[in-house]
Structure 1
């Protein structure tokens, strides 16, 4: 709302244009003296007073309070929806151009909710393109603009920031952000189902990467319990995509495939190409776990091509790690090595977890080719990357691979050190790196377990 003097001048101008006296404008609710005081800028009118005067003057409350025609905000919101659609169906850099223009418009009009939406859109664009520092900056900007709003309104910004930290390999901090928001929602009585499903689903990924499988499974159970109260089909589909990871960890391949099929159907209907590509990616992973390597290769190549077409560089690189593993298992070492080497040449801005995964695969390829020295070098580099990120489950497996390699080379003491390191990560996954598990929302059974 503008300052009282600006509002007073606006009321006076509109009243004069309509040839109304102060008495005619005021009655029957207010007095002419009140209108005189208001027009002189000596009183700040209440919302009720402005709505009454707006109706008498034939204008909108928003225009009377701010001087902005109401249709400008409406048009900007429609344009933001179009930009979101462009991000879902086109390329992130093209959508970013739209969001930047809309951010400028919203700033000029002083529309803070629309500024926040534009920043959220820019953050999502940066997640796709792999510009994680910029993504964090945009999401933090949206959070600042929404600081006075209830937590459910800030959930998207919090979730976006957590995902950016996750992709950067900062698993512990991603968990902290998500768990803090979940606890705040439940403690405040603002247990909005959509916000909770968004946050629980986002927490599954870092939980799995840290080896906290029981906590991930419980987050999945809570999200599934809340899903019938969620109206957004894309949000429910995203939840099913994450829940599939917990089914995979339990060996429930059919359930994982069913969850992915549900998500895929929604994404096709809504033409959400990045999310649809993620489903192809996950289905390829499921097929690889079943040993259906040719089918897995086809799914992963489809995912990679879809993401590359959208210039989603970060996700494309991550799919290539999975594809390289399938090619390795098919004995196509040169193709796998080419993919992984190209990925690592781009640097580690794709995230420590995935760079570590690339070195792990290069180590396996070197070991299977009989080059123990190169294998050890890649395993050690992978170990350093994964220790930095806190990916406990992957660390334990990597320590086993390194220990086996050292033992076969006759380096028993070094092998024992590697095994001990792995056991330390496998012993109580989750409890040494995560705080207390977030409380369950009211009406759901039990609380999440402490460890994986």
Structure 2
């Protein structure tokens, strides 16, 4: 059997190992030392048949995973991975597309971009944002090589989303702003992609506390004709509603939210339909601080959808909202339990949602009578958010701290 050449072999071993949360020592053994694994992964040593058999066993993959393949196989793996993705089997898609990405180093850049784009989508469906970001970075490089503004914009928008989810709001703004500039310079970029760019920019600007800019860009997105947006119209209205509420225009926010709920069709995108209801719960709670019958109904509808097709990220979002509802209803103990459960799951929530849940946890702890430690923790969260440029969240944290101190006094 002919194996992959270096550095492709080492990159594949490294990817498989990291995906499984294993160290180099974990996959070493008789005849395969940790230092040898390190040299293999760096591309400085060629693999031996014995090493390949050992690594395949430790990593739990077939030995032919490391087999060199002809260029035609890349297209086959791409087709298999895309089919798995469309069949809602993202893990199988990752397995096929990751190998295709390694094999495609000598393939046409157009094919490589498609492989990377679908691999990034598969990682997103699995909630693997770090891996998604790495793949998108490579996709952007390929888009630059092809000098394709359309492909560059697609990669930049998703990179902006990944950066914001990770809490890097300024980097997110930069990615989205670059995408918007390309959209303004090149007429061939679809209006729907321009809308996605604006939505990514609005979300990042909102987190950064740049509400005036966020409002302006949200209005630009709303001016794009509905027929050019299709199902994306729901997200445009949803985003505009969120910005309006953050700006203090609660009534306008509710109007936009109601319109989004009317436009949304579960047949177009069931997951978006369910997540929109979860967003509606969140916005209503921010405005009214009351769990009404309508809020409870939206939550039940979202819970049903997430239970059917949601991944661990969506499940964590659901629990975080449930914790907030419990707190508003006066059940601080239940709120603390749920918030703690969500926070115990690493990387399940986007950075902004995770921080809001941590703020809620400390608020619940204060209500339960343990004030000194959670007050200090709440202050630390507020200071950290402010120093990192997450001004919208920092404002929420400082307000929660002030309320806690007033209640404690």
TM-score by length of 1: 0.64
Kindly indicate whether residue 197 of structure 2 is the aligned counterpart of residue 199 of structure 1: yes
The Cα of 1:373 is off from its aligned counterpart by 1.7
Kindly indicate whether residue 219 of structure 2 is the aligned counterpart of residue 221 of structure 1: yes
* Aligned equivalents of 1:108, 1:373: Cα separation in 2: 56
Partner of 2:173: 175
The Cα of 1:253 is off from its aligned counterpart by 4.2
| Deviations 1:248-287 (CA, angstroms, capped at 9, x unpaired) | 332124423334225521xx223x3432332121122244
Partner of 1:150: 148
* Aligned equivalents of 2:348, 2:387: Cα separation in 1: 14
| Deviations 1:69-121 (CA, angstroms, capped at 9, x unpaired) | 9xx96x888767644533xxx3543443454466578x289243233223222
The Cα of 1:163 is off from its aligned counterpart by 0.8
* More deviation, 301-310/320-329: 301-310
With a CA cutoff of 8 Å and minimum separation of 6, indicate the structure with the bigger relative contact order.
Answer: 1
Query: Which aligned pairs between 1:137-286 and structure 2 lie closer than 5 A?
Result: 137-147=134-144, 148-187=146-185, 192-228=190-226, 230=228, 233-249=230-246, 250-251=249-250, 252-262=252-262, 264-265=264-265, 268-270=266-268, 272-286=269-283
Kindly indicate whether residue 86 of structure 2 is the aligned counterpart of residue 85 of structure 1: yes
| Deviations 1:54-76 (CA, angstroms, capped at 9, x unpaired) | xxxxxxxxxxxxx999xx96x88
* Aligned equivalents of 2:276, 2:299: Cα separation in 1: 10
Name the count of aligned residue pairs. Answer: 333
Q: Is the 8 A contact 2:140 2:152 kept in 1?
A: yes
* Aligned equivalents of 1:255, 1:179: Cα separation in 2: 28
- Please report the RMSD computed on the Cα atoms of aligned residues, expressed in angstroms: 3.3
* Aligned equivalents of 2:390, 2:163: Cα separation in 1: 13
* Aligned equivalents of 2:213, 2:126: Cα separation in 1: 30
* Aligned equivalents of 1:218, 1:378: Cα separation in 2: 35
Query: Which aligned pairs between 1:125-144 and structure 2 lie closer than 5 A?
Result: 125-144=122-141
* Aligned equivalents of 2:352, 2:384: Cα separation in 1: 7
| Deviations 1:130-153 (CA, angstroms, capped at 9, x unpaired) | 322211111112112221232122
Kindly indicate whether residue 116 of structure 2 is the aligned counterpart of residue 115 of structure 1: no
Change (3 A) 1:255 1:337: same
* Aligned equivalents of 1:385, 1:82: Cα separation in 2: 43
The Cα of 1:154 is off from its aligned counterpart by 1.9
Q: Is the 8 A contact 2:209 2:390 kept in 1?
A: yes
Q: Is the 8 A contact 1:283 1:299 kept in 2?
A: yes
